[in-house]
Structure 1
Amino acid sequence: MPVQPLSRRTFLRGVGVSMALPWLESSPVWGDDGAPARGSSEPPVRFAALFCGNGFHRTEWWAKDEGRGLEFGKVLEPLVPHRQKLNFIRGLYNQEALIGGIHSCQTGNLLTGAHLAPGGEVRSGISCDQLLAERTRGLTKVPSLVLGCEPPIAAIHKNYSMIYSSHISWSSATAPTPLELYPALAFDRLFRDDVGRADRSVLDAVLEDARGLQRNVSTADRRRLDEYLASVRDVEQRIAGAGQAGRLQGWRPTLEKPDVPRPAGGVPQDIDQHMRLMCDILVLAFRTDTTRVCTLKLNNDHSSLRFPHLGVDYMIHHLLSHTDNADWLKVNQFFVQQLAYIAQKLDAVQEGNRTLLDNSMILFASSMMTGGHNNDQLPVVLLGKGGGQIRTGRILDYLGKPNRKMCSLYLSLLEKAGVRLPAFGDSTEKLTEI
């Protein structure tokens, strides 16, 4: 039976629900007018930026050699299984982040390279993720997904707004992109057209449409579709289970039983569960092509997170960053484990001759190298091959080189995603090695 052509913008549909199809290699890409779209059925390039505030252990963030021999300091050990699919980048920085303000001033322009307004005013610049989302608007159901695991801070620190410490994604110079802190609402945004109709499983709503589709694709794509639907069900059930277990509280109760009604939705009380759910939602978003741009802020700079699941509950993240002790290293590794988890999940999804990780660019960075606030160079790791356009398994060292701007990296990544610009932020020159 011949494979039926599918529109690249085809969705599985049900009452109040639309779910974007995953990439299917046997189905050609067709435009809305029924004519073959340009670019055949090559899977798209996805971009994600993951942020971890307050830097890392001063002696354990390092890499040496390359390829299979690439070695890491203890902070990066969770990435050893993925060392051939990443680049360790040394020496990049943001000139404008050196002007002062410590945490707030060092974070607000991480993805923009823009000058930050002082005195409590909020002004940065459009970030590279939102520029990409705007240039690709209409290609996916959701232009970009901006996720967070810690609420924003409303305060002034060293004459700069702490809004800068709380946001790395900016929709305009004066508007940080709102964070979605609630896993259930992030999930709904991906798959529900009417969030109010939340009394029915997403998969149950689209099941009839999915069965019809399975009859019209190849055996390999049928298996791919089955795996995708199973992964959606898994996350859906885990979110529901978290609520049933009473973990969606959003606070640590001071009473044996709450004396106010619990909110219908909430932030998972345990940070390990919260981060893992957000990582799964990122993977689902990319796997379904519901969005190709995602920003995940694992914590704020000047973070107040605690980590009782690691046995580290005596000091908040920010204060711990000034210690460089064994517990700080343990927390660092926990954050890198989230990146490694995303890489493992993406690399397990085959898209033609490459994996979903191969077809992605996952940027992992902080606003400072260590808790000592030094940001004359930034910790940066880039996972994925950008659809086969990026050679991986390397250490790229820009220390002492004339072009070591973070915005030069963004110009290179934007080009890999199909957006060619003469300039971005404070840079007019790409990194030729990327």
Structure 2
Amino acid sequence: MATHHYSRRTFLRGAGVVMALPWLESRCVWGDEPGKARPASEAPVRLAVLFSGNGFHSKEWWARGEGKAMELGKVLAPLQDFRERMLFVRGLFHAEARKGNIHSSQTGNILSGAPIASGGDIRSGTSFDQLLAQTYGRSTRVPSLVLGCERSNPAVHKNYSMLYSSHISWSSPTTPTPLELYPALAFDRLFKDESTPGDRSVLDAVMNDARDLRRGISTSDQRKLDEYLDSVRDVETRIENAGKRGELQGWRPTLDKPNIQRPADGIPQDIAEHMHIMCDLMVLGFQTDATRITTLKLNNDHSALRFPNLPSVQQVGHGIDYMIHHLLSHSDGQDWMKVNQFFMEQTAYVARRLDAIQEGPRTLLDNTMLMHCSSMMAGARHDNDQLPVIVLGGGGGRIKGGRVLDYKDKPERQLCRLFMSMMDKMDVRPKSFGDAKMALEDL
């Protein structure tokens, strides 16, 4: 595997702060040596995995046709603009995940396909994002960024630890990769030497170095640098404002005296804003090359999230907060559809942001593999004989979108075959992974 070495101008530096640069045509950011930049087509490939628990509407997760003519089920409606950049993958599954038939046993190995230990023990398998982080991640300051919007659950449910349903990324078979629920701390990890909160703006700390760099780059790169610095400032400001509202460090009442019990720290009050900031951090991490591998767990399997931000169709005048996500998944009502589409909107949001960032002849979306998956097809049935999976982006020009790949009636339909194919696009080629011995040729 070829790694990208840092050039002298890969980072902007300040007191206690190191901030990676975006792609610049007039500077060697991802080249082997200063003055010997790699072609723009060799910008690094990124992996982003978004997960939402409890499956989707049983009758509206589907796609037919190709390219612009591709038709999408209602769940996928938010991705209408990305049909030509999307792979709809049907029929893949994990054999090991079918043994427990409960949320935890179906989620803890979603990115590994490994056997799951029962009886409250913790043993799964190293997930493919972390296998990439152990190799491809050596080229970045942060090997992988693992984000979440719902805290982990340490309980046991029907003989399986709920830690399985709370974690999709595993650093080793016995170690779930810690989730970062706090956007501010995730931001610090990307841009500060230590993950400790500070009062000084990251942007202020590196501004002198940025001014020096600006004098030696082209006019188009100056515009790109300015846009990048503006995006950093925007995320800083939004995190600061959300923190003042009490949304990111635990719930805080808006009354002089609370009339309900204060919830635990770390659960945001505004779930839509929380998810959007996490999505922005994912994009910013890729844009700066601070990391090339990110997982974002939008919620747990067996999730307790509610959605007061979404107007209810079934209970007019109310938000969809009358029932937790897990129980709502046991129906195919209109509110369940709205929640499904809300999750797909997060993927569309990331795709739109990535596609707006130019990296030479390609966009950042062209250089990314953006996967959205769940651990079951329909929550009402816990159906995981085939798993819902879509992949957006070009994988560095190695993936052709606008297609439906159907493996439902094929004998070798391990989901781990897809993971092997995705690892191959990042020049990591294990002889086997999970229960798969070969990659998918169609990718």
Q: Secondary structure of the residue that 1:48 maps to in structure 2?
A: strand
Matched, 1:393 2:393: no
The answer (yes or no) to whether the contact 2:41–2:362 under 8 Å persists in 1 is no
Q: Secondary structure of the residue that 1:93 maps to in structure 2?
A: coil
The answer (yes or no) to whether the contact 1:27–1:41 under 8 Å persists in 2 is no
Matched, 1:152 2:152: yes
Rounded to whole Å, the distance in 2 between the matches of 1:211 and 1:126 is 43
Measured on the aligned residues, the alpha-carbon RMSD in Å equals 2.2
Q: Secondary structure of the residue that 2:390 maps to in structure 1?
A: strand
The answer (yes or no) to whether the contact 1:93–1:377 under 8 Å persists in 2 is yes
Q: 5 Å matches for 1:96-135? A: 96-135=96-135
Matched, 1:376 2:385: yes
Residue 281 of structure 1, CA deviation: 0.5
Residues 75-94 of structure 1: per-residue CA shift (max 9 Å, x gap): 10000011111111100100
Please name the residue that 2:419 is paired with.
410
The answer (yes or no) to whether the contact 2:46–2:286 under 8 Å persists in 1 is yes
Matched, 1:336 2:351: no
The answer (yes or no) to whether the contact 1:25–1:41 under 8 Å persists in 2 is no
Residues 241/432 of structure 1: CA separation in 2 closer, same or farther (3 Å cut) = same
Rounded to whole Å, the distance in 1 between the matches of 2:6 and 2:126 is 35
Q: 5 Å matches for 1:313-324? A: 313-324=321-332
**Alignment-mate amino acid for residue 279 of structure 1:** C
Q: Secondary structure of the residue that 1:395 maps to in structure 2?
A: strand
The answer (yes or no) to whether the contact 1:358–1:386 under 8 Å persists in 2 is yes
Matched, 1:356 2:364: yes
Identity over aligned pairs, percent: 64
Q: Secondary structure of the residue that 1:409 maps to in structure 2?
A: helix
**Alignment-mate amino acid for residue 90 of structure 2:** R
Count of aligned positions: 427
Rounded to whole Å, the distance in 2 between the matches of 1:41 and 1:276 is 29
Match of 1:327 among 330, 335, 338: 335
The answer (yes or no) to whether the contact 2:366–2:393 under 8 Å persists in 1 is yes
Rounded to whole Å, the distance in 1 between the matches of 2:193 and 2:29 is 24
Residues 31/350 of structure 1: CA separation in 2 closer, same or farther (3 Å cut) = closer
Rounded to whole Å, the distance in 2 between the matches of 1:306 and 1:81 is 28
Residues 394/40 of structure 1: CA separation in 2 closer, same or farther (3 Å cut) = closer
The answer (yes or no) to whether the contact 2:90–2:386 under 8 Å persists in 1 is yes
Please name the residue that 2:235 is paired with.
235
Residue 235 of structure 1, CA deviation: 0.7
Rounded to whole Å, the distance in 1 between the matches of 2:332 and 2:254 is 32
Please name the residue that 2:314 is paired with.
none
Residues 252/90 of structure 1: CA separation in 2 closer, same or farther (3 Å cut) = farther
Rounded to whole Å, the distance in 2 between the matches of 1:122 and 1:296 is 21
The answer (yes or no) to whether the contact 1:363–1:383 under 8 Å persists in 2 is yes
Q: Secondary structure of the residue that 2:139 maps to in structure 1?
A: coil
Q: Secondary structure of the residue that 1:7 maps to in structure 2?
A: coil
Residues 28-87 of structure 1: per-residue CA shift (max 9 Å, x gap): 357687584777772100001110000000111111111011111111000001111111
The answer (yes or no) to whether the contact 1:28–1:40 under 8 Å persists in 2 is no
Residues 96-141 of structure 1: per-residue CA shift (max 9 Å, x gap): 0000141000000000110001111100010000000001233111
Residue 195 of structure 1, CA deviation: 3.9
Q: 5 Å matches for 1:15-414? A: 15-28=15-28, 36=36, 42-196=42-196, 198-251=198-251, 253=253, 256-257=256-257, 266-310=266-310, 311-371=319-379, 372-414=381-423
Residues 360-398 of structure 1: per-residue CA shift (max 9 Å, x gap): 001100000011200000000000010000010111111
Rounded to whole Å, the distance in 1 between the matches of 2:8 and 2:66 is 38
Q: Secondary structure of the residue that 2:400 maps to in structure 1?
A: coil
**Alignment-mate amino acid for residue 109 of structure 2:** N
Rounded to whole Å, the distance in 2 between the matches of 1:178 and 1:285 is 18
Superposition TM-score, scaled by structure 2 size? 0.92
Residue 16 of structure 1, CA deviation: 1.3
Residue 27 of structure 1, CA deviation: 2.3
The answer (yes or no) to whether the contact 2:87–2:390 under 8 Å persists in 1 is yes
5+ residue gaps in structure 2?
Answer: 311-318
Rounded to whole Å, the distance in 2 between the matches of 1:369 and 1:288 is 35
